[in-house]
Amino acid sequence: MITIIPAIDIIDGKCVRLSRGEYASAKTYNENPLDVALAFADAGCRRLHLVDLDGAKSKHIVNYRVIEAIASRTDLVIDFGGGVKSDEDLRIAFESGAQMVTGGSIALTDPTTFRRWLSRYGGERIILGADSKNGKIAISGWTEQSDADIVPFINGYVNEGVRQVISTDINVDGMLTGPSTALYKRILDEVDGVHIIASGGVGSIEHIVELAQINVPEVIVGKAIYENKISLNDIERINRGELC
């Protein structure tokens, strides 16, 4: 069984989606992210992946008011990412209502701080963001690419207590052409005990089935929902185990 986690990406307080992580490609789908979150909650979703794209680019949290609005009006478990680079950013995210925070860039650029967060809050609340392009970790809102190979990067942190890893292949993100199944299979085969959350490329229920067949437990879906490729009814049925 695989679970869908719907996604909301924020620029200027609005719900947007990018293609391949390019900010110039941003398309606004809704002026009010709370309305979108309420629709997800009404469809039976329990968790929300919320990304502050302004924060990712600015390297500090920006859209924390969106977290507050959604947390105060829904029961969705919010995992938040984007611009969390300091203890203060982390405090703001948690106090605004996020139950989990994803550390991506900081896990590579400031591993001491990331490890401190992991030790203090545990693997239930601190998620590793392992977004990549051509197998190499990308940082700073995907505007920079490192030389770090994704599998050793993930493996090292799983050995240190990370429990959940969100991994987006930037090459397919927002393209609706299919997820990077081979990448996720490699991660599952080579990293013992990893709980991988796939992200990027999903454009149909068939793509979700494909991920379920290699035992990916959860998948983040955004643009496919906004482009009506996957309906809220489909999500509800998949999360009940009826379609996958």
Given 9, 52, 89, 234, the catalytic residue: 9
Whether 234 sits among the annotated catalytic residues: the reply is: no
Given 79, 89, 131, 173, the catalytic residue: 131
As a three-state string, the secondary structure of the chain is CCEEEEEEEEECCEEEEEECCEEEEEEEEECCHHHHHHHHHHCCCCEEEEEEHHHHHHCCCCCHHHHHHHHHHCCCEEEEECCCCCHHHHHHHHHHCCCEEEECHHHHHCHHHHHHHHHHHCCCCEEEECCEECCEEEECCCCEEEEEEHHHHHHHHHCCCCCEEEEEECCCCCCCCCCCHHHHHHHHHHCCCCEEEEECCCCCHHHHHHHHHCCCCEEEECHHHHCCCCCHHHHHHHHCCCCC
Determine how β-strand 47-52 pairs with β-strand 132-133. Answer: unpaired
Whether 35 sits among the annotated catalytic residues: the reply is: no
Catalytic annotation, residues? 9, 131
